[in-house]
Amino acid sequence: MGAETTGMTARLLILLMMANGTPILLRKLLGDRLGWPVDGGCRFPDGRPWFGPSKTWRGLVCGIGAAALTAPLLGLPWAMGALVGAASLAGDLLSSFLKRRLGIGSSGMALGLDQVPESLLPLLAVRERLGLDWSYIAWFVIVFIVLELALSAVLYRLRIRNRPY
């Protein structure tokens, strides 16, 4: 892997960490304040929540904003940061929706389902713009899964996350 690819990988990983980490940090700092659920507490026809209480407007807006603000610091346009953040959090919402349909509770673990959409969707959103090929995207998603699981365990030990995944 060349230096250019390594640099782009690092920048994309940082954007994903900002988009997905900001809601976790805000939850720790603010608790439930301003944490209105995206689904408004509504239920899907199966009787389960659409997403659950941990998916909030605060997290969505601030996660996208954090990625947008970080992008220029990494030499990328703010709009690309916003797009990566929005696509990653859309993937996170998709994961939550699917987990609820499978009967997995809020913040419950589903290896792969928790990581793949939030790393794959942003890469698909910027694929053409960045010239990403399919082998790179597959490799990146695998790297993201490994790093996300490791980082989650660290954040749990630091008492930032409530669960080690």
Q: Please give the span between the terminal C-alpha atoms of the chain, in angstroms, as a whole number.
A: 29
Look at residue 136 in the predicted model and tell me its pLDDT. Answer: 96
pLDDT at 92: 96
Ramachandran category for residue 47: left, alpha or beta (phi over 0 → left; psi -120 to 50 → alpha): left
pLDDT at 162 (0 to 100): 83
Q: Could you tell me which of 128, 131, 125 has the C-alpha nearest to residue 91?
A: 125
Residue 76: both structure tokens together: 């990328």
Which three-class secondary structure state does DSSP give residue 160? Answer: coil
Q: How far is CA 28 from CA 61, 121, 137, in A?
A: 16, 26, 32
Which residues are 82's β-sheet partners?
A: none
Q: For position 69, what pLDDT does the model report? A: 98
Each residue's pLDDT, cut to its tens digit, for the chain (165 residues) gives: 677 888 999 999 999 999 999 999 999 999 999 999 999 999 999 999 999 999 999 999 999 999 999 999 999 999 999 999 999 999 999 999 999 999 998 878 899 999 999 999 999 999 999 999 999 999 999 999 999 999 999 989 999 888 887
Cβ–Cβ < 8 Å for 68, 103: no
Per-residue model confidence (pLDDT) at position 1: 61
Helices marked H in the chain — which ranges? Answer: 3-30, 57-70, 78-101, 116-130, 134-157
